[in-house]
Amino acid sequence: MKFLALVDCDNFYASCERVFRPDLKQKPIVVLSNNDGCVIARSKEAKAMGIKMGIPWFKVKKAYLAQGGKVFSSNFPLYGDLSKRVMNILDGMVKRMEVYSIDEAFLDLQHIQQSNQAYEFGVYCRNTIRQWVGIPVRIGIAPTKTLAKVASHVAKNQKGGAGVYCLSNKKDIANILKTICVGEVWGVGHRLSKQLNQLGTYSAYDLMQMDIRLIRKKFSVVLERTVRELRGEPCIRIEDHSDPKKQIVVSRSFRGRIDSLDLLKPLISNFAVRAGEKLRHETQKCSQVSVFVATSRFQKNLQHRGFNSFHFPYPIDDTRSILMGANKALKKTFKNGYPYAKAGILLSHFSHPTFIQQSLFQAADHQHLKQDTHLMHTIDSLNSKQTQVYYASQHPAGLSPIQKQMVSPRYTTNWWDLPQTK
């Protein structure tokens, strides 16, 4: 039998906060989104206190802190760096792997035939990461990705288990799928779960038993793959090289509300500048830049959502051109008198720099479009550690004036934040 493993970091952001703070062991920890808006990660203890994922911080703040809970603003430089370390270790252990998200990876266990060997490999893997990085992980092993997800779910809930679970024989699979709600299956979200319930499908086992043709007809090929995967038939491959991105988004919610174009413009410029950096980092060029603005979903009166694009005659990656396009798109999108809560920028229609579609009218119409690879390269390297070169239209306070009151030090990515002994 062929196996693959899902390595999933436990409560990743919360665990990262603990790595350099051993005093926080066993303590409830939550990590907040931008602007300290809502809860995006919880330690086991915080979950036990009933803190729900995604809940607005202001709703639970008082009670949570009163019970001795600890709280952090998100510290993505730290999480990103610890993630990289975990992934590097895994990369050294197998021939093929897929980094699925900041805290998850699929490993191809092609060198292993027996389930007990797979289990032992999992234990070794887990111990190594624990010792070398300090992050606890759990590992699910199975013949397909969807089942590996299930197995990792089992590993999480096992009391006193080793944090590793291998799911391979048919009987085990059936028994475990019976205990799992259909909505918990990887690939079945809120909507699908509701529709499946209406058809009398409640557990993952029910879903596995459904008629493939019916699934295809009533739903889609995506759900068909999920069903086949639950039956042990691999349909979703391990992608060991990441495809080039198809779009880049930079967006933020605002702390307050923004109702004037003059205030919004510099923020959109910041998004555009950041998007340009990401685009060049991907070594891609884009032909379209779009801007979107939105009022708060939770404010019932005065709602507006706007979206407009600017199309370039040929692919560009020069920030000055992106800024020009963003500005034009913003002017079409913004409406006076609305209290905007969120805005963003989206780059799309990508092409590789070596492939340039020339425009028939380019020379005549678009000489003003700026494109200077060397200049961009120079600015990027000057700004790589810390922003030193700004565009005149930017807001000086960085990406957007967001609030982060409880952020931990960047222990591993900034010299001034290195951990110190007392």
Which of 43, 75, 83, 193 forms a contact with DNA (CB under 7 A)? 193
Of 190-198, 359-367, 374-382, 386-394, the segment contacting DNA by CB under 7 A is 190-198
- Reduced to 3 states (helix: H, G, I; strand: E, B; else coil), residue 398 is coil
**247 in contact with DNA (CB under 7 A):** yes
Distance CA 293, CA 332 (A): 11
* Contact pattern for DNA over residues 86 through 105, marking x by CB under 7 A: --------------xxxxx-
Distance CA 312, CA 279 (A): 15
Which is closer to DNA, CB of 56 or CB of 266? 56
* Contact pattern for DNA over residues 316 through 345, marking x by CB under 7 A: -------------------------xx-x-
Of 36-44, 110-118, 365-373, 383-391, the segment contacting DNA by CB under 7 A is 36-44
Of residues 397, 399, 264, 286, the one with CA closest to residue 346: 286
Which is closer to DNA, CB of 4 or CB of 112? 4
Which of 3, 186, 205, 310 forms a contact with DNA (CB under 7 A)? 186
Which is closer to DNA, CB of 192 or CB of 329? 192
**38 in contact with DNA (CB under 7 A):** yes
CB of 72 to DNA, least distance (A): 14
CB of 55 to DNA, least distance (A): 7
**213 in contact with DNA (CB under 7 A):** no
Spatial CB neighbours of 234, under 8 Å, sequence gap ≥ 6: 2, 143, 144, 145
Which is closer to DNA, CB of 54 or CB of 200? 54
CB of 101 to DNA, least distance (A): 4
Which of 18, 70, 126, 149 forms a contact with DNA (CB under 7 A)? 149
Spatial CB neighbours of 168, under 8 Å, sequence gap ≥ 6: 1, 3, 115, 118, 141, 142, 143
Residue 183 has what DSSP assignment?
Answer: G
**187 in contact with DNA (CB under 7 A):** yes
CB of 38 to DNA, least distance (A): 5
Give me the numbers of helices (H) and strands (E) for the chain, helices first please: 15, 12
328 CB burial (10 A radius; 0-12, 13-18, 19+): middle
Cα angle, residue 145 at apex, residues 113 and 212 outer, rounded to 5°: 110
**192 in contact with DNA (CB under 7 A):** yes
Q: Are 206 and 213 in contact (CB under 8 A)?
A: no
**296 in contact with DNA (CB under 7 A):** yes
Q: Residue count at the site for DNA (CB under 7 A)?
A: 46
Distance CA 88, CA 215 (A): 39
- Reduced to 3 states (helix: H, G, I; strand: E, B; else coil), residue 334 is coil
Distance CA 327, CA 289 (A): 10
Other CB atoms within 10 Å distance of the CB of residue 275:
24
**385 in contact with DNA (CB under 7 A):** no
**305 in contact with DNA (CB under 7 A):** no
CB of 37 to DNA, least distance (A): 3
Which of 241, 298, 300, 374 forms a contact with DNA (CB under 7 A)? 298
Of residues 258, 249, 248, the one with CA closest to residue 342: 258
Distance CA 422, CA 129 (A): 27
Which is closer to DNA, CB of 214 or CB of 418? 214
Question: Which helix H or strand E contains 376, and what residues bound it?
Answer: helix 373-383
CB of 17 to DNA, least distance (A): 16
Cα angle, residue 256 at apex, residues 251 and 262 outer, rounded to 5°: 70
**42 in contact with DNA (CB under 7 A):** no
**250 in contact with DNA (CB under 7 A):** yes
CB of 22 to DNA, least distance (A): 25
Which of 15, 35, 269, 412 forms a contact with DNA (CB under 7 A)? 35
Which of 191, 241, 368, 422 forms a contact with DNA (CB under 7 A)? 191
**300 in contact with DNA (CB under 7 A):** no
Of residues 135, 168, 138, 167, the one with CA closest to residue 151: 167
CB of 185 to DNA, least distance (A): 7
Tokens describing residue 139: 């590992």
Distance CA 46, CA 28 (A): 4
Q: Please name every residue paired with 407 in a beta bridge, in sequence order, or none if there are none.
A: 73
Distance CA 267, CA 191 (A): 35
Question: Contact residues for DNA (CB under 7 A)?
Answer: 33-35, 37-38, 40, 54, 56, 58, 100-104, 149, 185-193, 220-222, 243, 245-253, 256-257, 278, 296, 298, 341-342, 344, 402
